[in-house]
Structure 1
């Protein structure tokens, strides 16, 4: 299996920008494939993978509040519970990234 070398921060930012622009500009039928490729790339890179791990750790409480069988419709009670959890910048993880 081909693995891309770990990118430095400038290269990573450039690649993320490029990949996200491709997702935004692609035809809808290709969007899911491009999103999957994007997340595979993000998970391969040590820096971005660690960021995703931190987000998962910081939002584990929120993840537990979202039902497993989540569909396109989110019940209003679930939405309100999520909003209650994210009332402050600190709860949103804002202080980590500022």
Structure 2
């Protein structure tokens, strides 16, 4: 990684670990936004099969990711049909996107 600050590197790491945990074949898109003021990372997950069973499976896989980063950030998860391309926050947040 070149030119990334610590928070951006952390955000990318969370995203990459999450991609591996859930599996790229199960995802249409994934986005991680980290609020530097609170160290709260919000992960938006767009699954190929967005049903209750698939969401539960994804959350089970993310327990390891959550445990891995527990000392650095608080993670929360949102399941969506698509990624919202409009960013309304006035604070620049480190972000990771896979689509």
The structure whose Rg is larger is 1
What's the TM-score once normalised by structure 1's chain length?
0.31
- Between Structure 1 and Structure 2, which shows a larger proportion of helix residues? 1
What's the TM-score once normalised by structure 2's chain length?
0.31
Structure having greater relative contact order (Cα 8 Å, sep ≥ 6): 2
